[in-house]
């Protein structure tokens, strides 16, 4: 019976919001009797959830669509590239474009194709111990480099019943860690008088939820009740990701970011006072128009002061329709590449330093992968990947207590803490 069910492949490019949408679609399709997989061979349909935030994201999106089409698999392309630049996805037989505004209807759109269903199936390669749950969409901020408001629309919170349904589906599949995400996550609840902190508090009161992690948060949202929830709620992972972007105040102003570098350092200082074990991870953008060596050096200096646990570095790429795309002083591509290299080297050094600081601690990890007799990989609440080897007992997806005994590069080495 399983072999008679049509296979659907879901490919995700880009951010955690896209990832959350794809996981939710996979869960819904599996429950409706489809076989969801990442194996293209013999697939009846491929859904590509595209990205338009960077040139690289657009390139990967086009490549994923083309690969499926070359394999003779019909494709539904959805996501931000479909909204911002549908012409980049060349019209072809077997290609259907579904804009972000209709993304919630994807399961119904797929059902209209009349594919064969059965008991349904979704392997662990689609959803493991962690599930990403979208609670907010869109953004009202007008950052000079960002195409997202055009691609996603204005800031809005998802209905609570829709969030609860997504959580229920994830928990039924065995997810022990829920990652709450949104385009501007801290905006959740703004329209209704609710708040992200209230959502977290009520969600973690459920006994079937192991722990909750927050994805990227804007600097000005890390305060008050939300900071208290992160500090005091034992089910909230001690990890926050902050989109710093630059450590130079002139560049931050040109980016139309609503803070100065000193404010970021003050927020991180308050975080560490409240939660000493917290991992603060950051984004930085190199090569924004007008960024010279002095401005870039200021960013490196701020990073060294912040001592982030991990750093995501990406090169600025002009997005048509954004204010920054029209700025005259663009940075040479070779220089952007070199600054990215220097930034990543610094980030790697700081990440290794943070991982080494975990040695000698006992902590809880979410088991991501496990092979009996070989090894397992887990993720701590403060975002450190832990290698458990050899795996001396049968492990399944879920949470486990470990002792951190050493490091190997950016990996921690751990033993099961029985």
Task: Identify the domain boundary among 305, 336, 356.
Answer: 356
Same domain, yes or no: 157 and 291: yes
**Domain total for the chain?**
3
| pLDDT of res. 117 | 83
Query: Does 92 have pLDDT greater than 80?
Result: no
Same domain, 184 and 107: no
Print the domain residue range for 307.
Answer: 130-356
| Tokens read off for 78 | 């959805």
Task: Give the model confidence (pLDDT) of 313-340 as tens digits.
Answer: 999 999 888 999 888 889 999 999 999 9
Residue-wise pLDDT tens digits, 224-283: 999 999 999 999 999 999 999 999 999 999 999 999 999 999 999 999 999 999 999 999
Q: So what's the pLDDT on residue 126?
A: 41
Do residues 282 and 298 both lie within one domain?
yes
* CA distance to 361, 401, 412, 414, per residue, from 375 (Å): 20, 15, 13, 11
Residue 65: exposure state from Cβ atoms within 10 A (0-12, 13-18, ≥19): buried
CATH number for the domain spanning 113: value is 3.40.50.450
- Statement: residue 393 has pLDDT above 90: no
- CATH at 400: 2.40.50
Mean pLDDT of the chain: 90
158/73 same-domain check: no
Residue-level pLDDT at 124: 40
Crossing angle of helices 261-274 and 293-306, in 10° steps, is 10
Beta-carbon count within 10 A of 112 CB: 8
> Are residues 228 and 144 part of one domain?
yes
Residue 83: the pLDDT is 85
State what percent of residues in the chain have pLDDT above 90.
68
CB contact set of 336 (below 8 Å; sequence gap of 6+):
286, 287, 315, 316
Evaluate whether 261 touches 298 at the Cβ level (below 8 Å): yes
Higher pLDDT among residues 116 and 179, named by residue: 179
ω before 390 within 30° of 0 (cis)? Answer: yes
Q: Are residues 15 and 90 in the same domain?
A: yes
CATH of the domain at 261: 3.80.30.20
Same domain, 282 and 299: yes
The whole-number pLDDT of residue 334 equals: 97
Are residues 191 and 96 both part of a single domain?
A: no
């Amino acid at each position: 019976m399983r072999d008679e069910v049509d296979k659907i492949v879901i490919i995700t490019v880009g951010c955690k919001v896209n990832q959350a949408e794809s996981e939710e679609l996979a869960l819904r399709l599996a429950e409706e009797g489809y076989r969801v997989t990442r194996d293209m061979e013999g697939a009846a349909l491929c859904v590509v959830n595209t990205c338009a935030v960077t040139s690289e994201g657009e390139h990967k999106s086009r490549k994923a669509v083309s690969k499926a089409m070359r394999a003779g698999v019909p494709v539904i392309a959805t996501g931000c590239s479909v909204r911002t630049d549908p012409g980049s996805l060349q019209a072809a037989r077997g290609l259907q474009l579904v804009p972000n505004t209709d993304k919630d209807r994807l399961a119904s759109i797929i059902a209209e194709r009349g594919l064969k269903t059965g008991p349904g199936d979704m392997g662990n390669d689609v959803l493991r111990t962690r599930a990403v749950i979208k609670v907010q969409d869109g953004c009202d901020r007008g950052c000079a480099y960002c195409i997202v408001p055009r691609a996603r629309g204005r800031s809005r919170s998802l209905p609570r019943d829709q969030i609860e349904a997504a959580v229920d589906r994830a928990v039924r599949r065995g997810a022990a860690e829920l990652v709450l995400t949104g385009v501007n996550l801290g905006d959740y609840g703004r329209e209704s008088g609710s708040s992200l902190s209230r959502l977290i508090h009520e969600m973690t009161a459920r006994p079937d939820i192991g722990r909750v992690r927050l994805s990227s948060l804007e600097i000005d949202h890390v305060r008050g009740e939300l900071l208290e929830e992160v500090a005091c709620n034992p089910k909230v992972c001690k990890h926050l990701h902050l989109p710093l972007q630059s450590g130079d105040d002139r560049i931050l102003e040109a980016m139309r970011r609503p803070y100065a570098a000193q404010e970021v350092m003050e927020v991180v200082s308050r975080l560490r006072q409240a939660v000493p074990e917290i991992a603060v991870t950051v984004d930085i953008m190199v090569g924004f128009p007008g960024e010279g060596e002095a401005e870039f050096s200021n960013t490196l200096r701020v990073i060294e002061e912040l001592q982030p646990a991990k750093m995501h570095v990406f090169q600025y790429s002009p997005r048509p329709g954004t204010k920054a795309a029209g700025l005259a002083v663009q940075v040479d591509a070779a220089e952007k590449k070199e600054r990215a290299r220097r930034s990543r080297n610094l980030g790697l050094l700081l990440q290794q330093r943070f991982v080494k600081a975990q040695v000698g601690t006992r902590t809880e990890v979410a088991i991501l992968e496990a092979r009996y007799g070989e090894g397992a990989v887990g993720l701590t609440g403060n975002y450190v990947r832990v290698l458990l080897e050899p795996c001396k007992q049968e492990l399944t997806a879920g949470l486990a207590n470990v002792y951190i005994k050493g490091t190997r590069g950016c990996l921690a080495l751990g033993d099961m803490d029985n």
